[in-house]
Amino acid sequence: MSEQTIVHLLRHGEVYNPDKILYGRLPGFVLSDLGHQMAERVGETLKDRDIVEVWASPLERAQQTATPLALAKGLDIVTDDRIIEADNVFEGQRVSIGDGVLKQPKAWKHLYDPFKPSWGEPYKQIAARMRDAVFSARESARGHEILLVSHQLPVWTSRLDFEDRRLWHDPRHRQCNLASLTSLAFDGDDLKAIVYTEPASDLVAKAHKGAGA
């Protein structure tokens, strides 16, 4: 008889980033007050689920997002480097379209191949490490559910990988909002469904409104 196991991939909550830089793997970037509310909301939403383990990227924002659920379930947070944010050469700089570093000719040498991408960790590498982490999580939580707190690009790349879709994409079209869940449901070793939900959608709307103000 096969067992159902669900691996939830959670993107962290909103980060305090008044200078609007690409913070990537830089230390010291923590959740904003609204981000903490998002983390609490996710914890409240998932506290009655059959989640037996909580894993998180080593970065502060992921650890903070994992904390409310871990406390509610009486679980320790397992830190897993495989689900860390993607590496990026523009870390620490402003990279908005038409703004900041992308207007500088010295940056153009990193922009020649959007399919790899040439400016950061290859999509195939992200997909491989995320797949490895998901399979490890599935084995560790057989017959139950497990939460992995990661970051937008790794979560979205993982979804594309499991759906056998091309990995290169337009970042504006990612379905991976702040504090969103991408849940992989396995029957034994077979992936049967991928479900996307936004437990903190009202708070995300508030964050977007604030960003546009």
pLDDT of 33-80, one tens digit each?
999 999 999 999 999 999 999 999 999 999 999 999 999 999 999 999
Under the banding of pLDDT at 50, 70 and 90, the label for residue 212 is: very low
What's the sign of the alpha-carbon dihedral 46, 51, 53, 55? negative
Question: Residue 138: helix, strand or coil by DSSP?
Answer: helix
Look at residue 99 and tell me if it is in a domain. Answer: no
Look at residue 140 and tell me if it is in a domain. Answer: yes
Number of domains in the chain: 1
The whole-number pLDDT of residue 114 equals: 75
Strand partners, 195: 183
Look at residue 114 and tell me if it is in a domain. Answer: no
Look at residue 201 and tell me if it is in a domain. Answer: yes
Look at residue 146 and tell me if it is in a domain. Answer: yes
Alpha carbon separation from 143 to 27, 62, 64, 134 (Å, rounded): 35, 25, 27, 14
pTM score of the predicted model: 0.92
The whole-number pLDDT of residue 106 equals: 61
CATH number of domain containing 42: 3.40.50.1240
Look at residue 183 and tell me if it is in a domain. Answer: yes
Look at residue 111 and tell me if it is in a domain. Answer: no
Under the banding of pLDDT at 50, 70 and 90, the label for residue 211 is: low
Of 136, 132, 174, nearest to 155 by C-alpha is 174
Look at residue 108 and tell me if it is in a domain. Answer: no
Structural domain for 170, as ranges: 4-87+121-212
Amino acid at 84: I
Strand partners, 186: 5, 191
